[in-house]
Chain A
Amino acid sequence: MRHLTPRAAISGIGELKPVRKTENVATMDLLMRVAAEAIADAGITADEIDGLLVAPQVGETPQHVPATVAEYFGMQPTMSNMVDLGGASGPGMIWRAAAAIAAGQCETVLCVIGNHRNPVPPKSPNRNPAREFDTPFGASGANTSYALLMQAHMAAYGCTPEDYAQIAAGARGNAQFNPMAIFYGQPASVEEVLASPMVASPLHLFEIVMPVAGADAVIVTTADRAAKGPHRPVHLLGAGEKITHRAVSQAPSLTSGPLKPSIARALSQAGLSIEDIDFLSLYDCYTIMVAATIEDAGLCAPGQFGAWLRDNGGMGHEARKPINTHGGQLGFGQPDLAGGMTHVVEVVRQIRGTAPGRQMSRCDTALITGNGATMSEAVALVLGGAL
């Protein structure tokens, strides 16, 4: 066994006095107070924290817990996660923090756990800020958030509905080469995308993923062990992560997201530029997400994704830089959280050379992007067929 190198150290602590009961106090409130203690104890300021590990919040925030806490704290970490190991979560955070530091993803990690003990359970199990201050006004669900992002992007750069619709049409086109895809046998033209019902302007139905059931799995091992396996190994060459906010109202930018620094970090770790990437496996919950990612990756200037896609020859496996050859989630379907993993699985197929009917002529490097909440949780990976 190898030692953990470089070794990490604990530099600050905080602890609230236990009480039998709290009175209508949110867990988030307790977390901020104890975090302030630990930050002061470490003799640092909050803006030095670039990693954040949290635990599940029973009865308060069911999903997107790290982003909800980070936004509340005014932090934008480059590594964040929820450690869900029951009573082992606290110690589990410590080695994960050290591993993230060793991986070059962050330098100072806040590990914070707490829970209220209010006598009367809240009516809703979901009473985080996005629920408290967005939903009462008629905004609920991701469609509204991405519609707001798309409207702002459209207005800032004068992009046309056709520019965005070609992403949905391209995804549907790719789905025709994947018999597994939910839209296999159902292509859609740009005109058909724009003729589909308006859901939340300017988003049409075909620009939104279809929810489906499904599952994906991946095995990660050492390069040495992978080399002994039956397939061409697919190496992780670089990674980047960034969390900027949770609710769309708190987004630092409506036209560019945390994938921009995440992609930059992943490429830098890999020692590659975006032009070196053969295959783009880009998270596509909505058309606007792919548009913003093409621009955040530096493939073109902001607002130019439409022209770039046309120059690229579309998104198919014969395009200059193929995009989402499995159909993307817009064509394959979104099996809930597994939707993001479909982009990983397709990259493995393309780099192995086992994407039947849609194999790229050459695929040695790929960029994978993952996106969560309101273009606010981002992960970028660079994978390659050689180290």
Chain B
Amino acid sequence: MTDLSQLGVAGPIYEPLNQPFWEAAAQGVLKIQHCGACDRHVFYPRPICPHCWADALDWVAVSGRGRLKSYSEIWKPGHPGWIPVAPYLVGLVELDEGPTLLSHILAQDNHVQIGDRLTLAPTQIGGRVLPCFRKDPS
């Protein structure tokens, strides 16, 4: 099976607003925004809090722990660059801090269930380290 690090796939486009997320990811850390006014976490990055519209967002490292809200085993990828590693898992990860993000899910034989506990698993995909998630050993 082809290594994920060998894939020729599209990566993020860095800009000042999202740079803290991708810089932290490269270091194996998951950082998202937190609103000092309404005390809620925000994902993906915004200039202003989408919950209370206060200009009070800061970057914080989060636990990297969450729950699998849904998943799919992708047999026919939408982007041809992913064909060498199909079938693979993508899933919706509800972070313990609240927000949900979509990520690449690593699990033995692609065996997962909705509700599974997940932990951050920084993984090199193409030329960059991305915040993927791994199923916790039960």
Contact = CB atoms under 8 A, between A and B. Distances in A.
Contacts of B78: 139-141, 143-144
Contact of B88 (A32, A45, A138, A250): A138
Interface string A289-318: 000000000000000000000000000000
B70 to A, nearest CB: 4
Contacts of A151: 70-72, 114
A148 B70 contact: yes
Interface stretch (A183-191, A194-202, A216-224): A194-202
Interface string A238-274: 0000000001111000100000000000000000000
Given A72-B46, A151-B114, A127 B74 contact: no
Contacts of B59: none
B contacts with A: majority SS:
loop
Contacts of B72: 144, 147-148, 151, 200-203
B69 A32 contact: no
Contacts of B75: 197-201
B30 interface: no
A85 interface: no
Interface string A109-153: 000000000000011100101001111111111011001110110
A26 B17 contact: yes
Contacts of A8: none
Interface residues of A, number: 49
B90 A137 contact: yes
A38 to B, nearest CB: 11
Nearest to B77: A138
Nearest to A149: B70
Contacts of A135: 10, 79
A138 B90 contact: yes
Contacts of B82: 138
Contacts of B85: 138
A77 to B, nearest CB: 14
B104 A152 contact: no
A247 B90 CA distance: 14
A45 B53 contact: yes
B13 interface: yes
B27 to A, nearest CB: 17
B131 to A, nearest CB: 9
Contacts of B46: 32, 72
A194 B40 CA distance: 43
Contacts of B56: none
Contacts, number: 131
B13 A123 contact: yes
Interface string B12-35: 111111100000000000000000
Residue among A122, A140, A141 with max Cβ neighbours from chain B (10 Å): A140
B74 A144 contact: yes
Interface residues of B, number: 47
A46 interface: yes
B62 interface: no
A138 B101 contact: no
A148 B50 contact: no
A39 B53 contact: yes
B73 A200 contact: yes
Residue among B15, B70, B76 with max Cβ neighbours from chain A (10 Å): B70
Given A136-B9, A136-B10, A197 B76 contact: yes
Interface string B71-110: 1111111110010010110111000000011111000000
Contacts of B118: none
A29 B47 contact: yes
B18 A200 contact: no
A152 B130 CA distance: 25
B79 A140 contact: yes
A288 B92 CA distance: 18
A142 to B, nearest CB: 8
B128 to A, nearest CB: 8
Contacts of A144: 72, 74, 78, 90
23 contacts: A25-B15, A26-B17, A72-B46, A74-B50, A127-B13, A134-B102, A135-B10, A136-B10, A136-B12, A137-B130, A138-B79, A138-B85, A138-B104, A141-B79, A144-B74, A147-B72, A148-B71, A148-B92, A152-B70, A198-B73, A199-B75, A201-B75, A249-B92
Interface of A: 23-26, 29, 32-33, 36, 39, 45-46, 72-74, 122-124, 127, 129, 132-141, 143-144, 147-149, 151-152, 155, 197-203, 247-250, 254
